[in-house]
């Protein structure tokens, strides 16, 4: 049994998902949500490009980039792409591979702190948080100490 299976039985619907993915995608009129028939022959091809499907030809990325450049959500989407550290989809004019080159360690730690805080606030035990995030328990306790320096509302670790 996976740790997700155990914990899903105990948490409200979607709570685990949002704890593990603490950054929501940009809301609003995304240009990629409408088929750009001038650039993509079919909506499916456009969708596949933005979904980051591995079979998409390189030539489709400049087309997707052009769609992003005209998108009103471009700046928010760029922040989301960095914060969420999404590893699959095409976002804000970049493939996941391109974004990965600019990732900083601080972003990884910031995301993990959000995950740890969200799970801890849901009363998930530190041992389970460690398993979900594939880290050892002492590192999760260290994360909680760091978070607590900024957030006095977190209860002490059991
Ligand atoms: S910037 Fe690009 S990926 Fe992001 S919402 Fe707009 S069109 Fe979609």
- Residue 101 phi, psi dihedral angles, 5° rounding: -65, -25
142 token code pair: 């260290």
How distant is the alpha carbon of residue 24 from its chain centre?
A: 7
Query: Which CA distances in Å does 6 have to 31, 129, 140, 158?
Result: 39, 12, 19, 20
Distance between CA atoms of 28 and 39, rounded to whole angstroms? 22
pLDDT in tens, 88-119: 999 999 999 999 888 888 888 989 999 999 99
Instruction: Look up residue 94 and give its DSSP letter.
Output: B
- What's the CA dihedral at 51, 104, 147, 77 to 10 degrees? -40
pLDDT band for position 5 (cuts 50, 70, 90): low
Measured between alpha carbons, how far is 144 from 130 in angstroms, rounded to an integer? Answer: 12
pLDDT on residue 158: 52
| Mean pLDDT of the region 33-39 | 97
Confidence of residue 4 (pLDDT cuts 50, 70, 90): low
69, 71, 99: residue to mutate for ligand 1 pocket, most atoms within 8 A of CB: 71
- Name beta bridge partners: 91: 94
Considering the chain, what percentage of its residues have pLDDT values greater than 90?
61
The answer to whether the CB of 113 falls within 8 A of the CB of 143 is yes
CA–centroid distance, 65 to ligand 1, in Å, is 9
Among protein residues, the one with the nearest Cα to ligand 1's atom 5 is: 30
Three-state DSSP class for residue 91: strand
- Regarding the beta carbon of 91 and ligand 1, being less than 6 Å apart is answered yes
């Amino acid at each position: 049994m996976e740790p997700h299976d155990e914990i899903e039985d105990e948490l409200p619907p979607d709570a685990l998902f949002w704890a593990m993915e603490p950054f929501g995608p940009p809301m609003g009129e995304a240009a990629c949500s409408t088929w750009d028939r001038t650039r993509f022959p079919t909506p499916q091809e456009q969708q596949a490009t933005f979904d980051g499907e591995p079979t998409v030809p390189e030539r489709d990325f400049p087309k997707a980039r052009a769609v992003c450049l005209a998108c009103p959500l471009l700046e928010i989407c760029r922040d989301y792409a960095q914060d969420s550290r999404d590893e699959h989809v095409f976002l804000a004019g970049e493939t996941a591979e391109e974004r990965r080159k600019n990732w900083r360690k601080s972003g990884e730690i910031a995301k993990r702190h959000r995950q740890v805080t969200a799970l801890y606030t849901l009363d998930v035990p530190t041992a389970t948080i460690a398993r979900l995030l594939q880290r050892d328990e002492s590192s999760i306790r260290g994360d909680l100490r760091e978070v607590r320096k900024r957030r006095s509302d977190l209860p002490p670790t059991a």
